[in-house]
Structure 1
């Protein structure tokens, strides 16, 4: 289930006179809504569109495209007119035009059974193969703003050498009518991320594994993950190894898309690694209310 705080996202907004119009994505339903109301109620850049939609989303039918509210936030108009549908078409590249993916395992969308939403553009799915029924996380894109992130992550993840502390790539997800690249799958780890499972005692061995895998990415492969956070860390229950995932912001060190600048990578990565959570219990060392204190 998607966390309530992550369910909605304002993808665009416009102000014309005293009227504010915003486009909001509901990641749970994978739908776009247009929210219209006075600027006095919905000022720009404050995501009030989301608060308005939350009040009414449970009452809206499947065909509703837009809603309009008055200055008190009361619903005054609901539209199912297709002309009010602001959903943008997303381009999915043909699998045949991606030579670097031709040796990857693939699965068609019709072979996947949706089990749950794990987050925006990430679902829990199951499918049957020679080994039986298995569960995987599938990452995909449905808006143009994230298409480059997902494509880059797909190519990077499938190219990474197998490592005990990196969640491995599984296979490419293709559309059925014509093989187009929709996303990719990775193994599903059922016990949650470090952020989700706050009752789990965080072991010093996991911290060492995290530091080692960051050094491996930075110094051996020249890759900066750029989004190391508790939400992107898992623990494999079979091996008790920490697993790093979510490479959608990763970049080659020294490239324009890489932050921080060259020369500060080691210290910055180390700092990110140590800021795991204010409320984690560090086994045998620090209590739950303090961040890990280290020297760089």
Structure 2
């Protein structure tokens, strides 16, 4: 179940001077958008989110908008499709891109939901197609990352293409497959191998080994680090905010030395305040000059803190002395990736002067009865029946009607 504090998000809305204010509230659990209107001018979405929490679990599937009083009481609901704030995304056709991996993709409708991990991220399972003449494949557990808001289009396309090209490195969580919608075979994103044991930040009881520090050579954070239970290798995942060197102006303040220094400090001390300031204000030398890093009492290390700091300082010094490049294309073997295919005019709501300005959405209402609209809504987790099984396209089936083995049945989310 998605943590309540992370369950809601507002991508935008309509704010009039003096009111009223309408915020489009996204519930990541149900993957639905509700337009919340209040008569006052609300400068941010926090009040609308807090009040809407009281009602969102009990709104019917045909409710698109609600009107709240100043004290948060429910004034009215709307089932008028014109009030539907849900967008219909355009997903690039799988066949229009040359992929660096050999795959025909896996359909979204084939992914069986096991757990809702967070916004746009689920733990799922599916059975890969067997090669001709080979025995049936066994179900595999993977992490499914997807998107249904235009704000994430370019970042997620970038992440997917970087990840599949980095996969194979012993310190990168393996890329698994490309996921397609079952209607148009558009790329809705991808799956990666599931690594049990939770992240370095969450699973503090596992401790943090000095050997793992020697494997940290990238811009990372403890929340994006896993440990392989068999190889004992540290594994990096989640490239949402990654990019090729010099490609994006907003990433100029980021580098691997800063990432490793701050991450090790956070792992040892559990003090995250130094990284709460903007990236351009984060100075790793301030942390390196501290006389002492006070180990948090819940943290377990296999060597004294001083040895970790010694290894860190030695690595940082060597890293700084190496030849520096300003752009990714100056590297000896730079990563290349395809541009995301342009949408046809009928799929583009508005088009700017550059690819980064293209908005590939239409309102769901604007698409009318188009049977090719890709929907994402799904049932509320806490209201699922014990026998219910949910697939990644939101479809609900009864467990007894499915060909699932005992392990799959036991792993599926059902009755809370």
TM exceeding 0.5? yes
Q: Distance in 2 between matches of 1:71 and 1:161?
A: 51
Aligned twin of 1:273: 263
Aligned twin of 1:240: 232
Aligned twin of 2:156: 150
* 1:24 correspondence with 2:25: yes
Q: Which has the higher contact order (CA 8 A, sep 6+)?
A: 2
Q: 1:260, 1:268 within 8 Å by CA — same for their partners in 2?
A: no
- Report the CA distance shift for 1:195/1:38 in structure 2 as closer, same or farther (over 3 A): farther
- Report the CA distance shift for 1:161/1:196 in structure 2 as closer, same or farther (over 3 A): closer
Q: Distance in 2 between matches of 1:78 and 1:124?
A: 33
Higher strand share: 1
What is the CA distance between 1:188 and its match in structure 2? 1.0
- Report the CA distance shift for 1:73/1:266 in structure 2 as closer, same or farther (over 3 A): closer
Moved more, 273-282 or 197-206: 273-282
Aligned twin of 2:49: 50
Aligned twin of 2:121: 122
Match of 1:163 among 146, 162, 169: 169
Aligned twin of 1:84: 83
- Report the CA distance shift for 1:276/1:131 in structure 2 as closer, same or farther (over 3 A): farther
What is the CA distance between 1:230 and its match in structure 2? 2.1
Q: Distance in 2 between matches of 1:47 and 1:275?
A: 32
Could you report, residue by residue, the CA deviation over 1:167-208 in whole angstroms, capped at 9, with x for unpaired residues? Answer: 011111112233211111101122212233233312222222
What is the CA distance between 1:270 and its match in structure 2? 3.0
Q: 1:106, 1:174 within 8 Å by CA — same for their partners in 2?
A: yes
Could you report, residue by residue, the CA deviation over 1:51-87 in whole angstroms, capped at 9, with x for unpaired residues? Answer: 1121222222222211111111111111122111011
Q: Distance in 2 between matches of 1:52 and 1:200?
A: 39
Q: For 2:139, what is the secondary structure of its paired residue?
A: strand
Q: 2:208, 2:302 within 8 Å by CA — same for their partners in 1?
A: no
- Report the CA distance shift for 1:188/1:230 in structure 2 as closer, same or farther (over 3 A): same
What is the CA distance between 1:8 and its match in structure 2? 0.6
Q: Distance in 1 between matches of 2:235 and 2:299?
A: 18
- Report the CA distance shift for 1:13/1:114 in structure 2 as closer, same or farther (over 3 A): same
Moved more, 270-279 or 83-92: 270-279
Match of 2:245 among 253, 257, 270: 253
Moved more, 79-88 or 267-276: 267-276
Scaled by the length of structure 2, the TM-score of the pair is: 0.61
Aligned twin of 1:220: none
Q: Distance in 2 between matches of 1:101 and 1:251?
A: 18
Pairwise CA RMSD of aligned residues? 2.3
Q: Distance in 2 between matches of 1:114 and 1:198?
A: 27
Aligned twin of 1:175: 181
Larger Rg over CA atoms: 2
Moved more, 129-138 or 199-208: 199-208
Equivalent residues in 2 for 1:132-147, closer than 5 Å? 132-147=138-153
Match of 2:192 among 181, 186, 192: 186
Scaled by the length of structure 1, the TM-score of the pair is: 0.84
Aligned twin of 1:217: none
What is the CA distance between 1:107 and its match in structure 2? 1.0
- Report the CA distance shift for 1:196/1:265 in structure 2 as closer, same or farther (over 3 A): closer
- Report the CA distance shift for 1:117/1:144 in structure 2 as closer, same or farther (over 3 A): same
Structure 1 gaps of 5+ residues are 215-224
What is the CA distance between 1:102 and its match in structure 2? 6.7
Q: 1:275, 1:292 within 8 Å by CA — same for their partners in 2?
A: no
- Report the CA distance shift for 1:31/1:161 in structure 2 as closer, same or farther (over 3 A): closer
Q: 1:173, 1:182 within 8 Å by CA — same for their partners in 2?
A: yes
What is the CA distance between 1:234 and its match in structure 2? 1.1
Q: For 1:202, what is the secondary structure of its paired residue?
A: coil
Structure 2 gaps of 5+ residues are 129-135, 271-295, 317-416
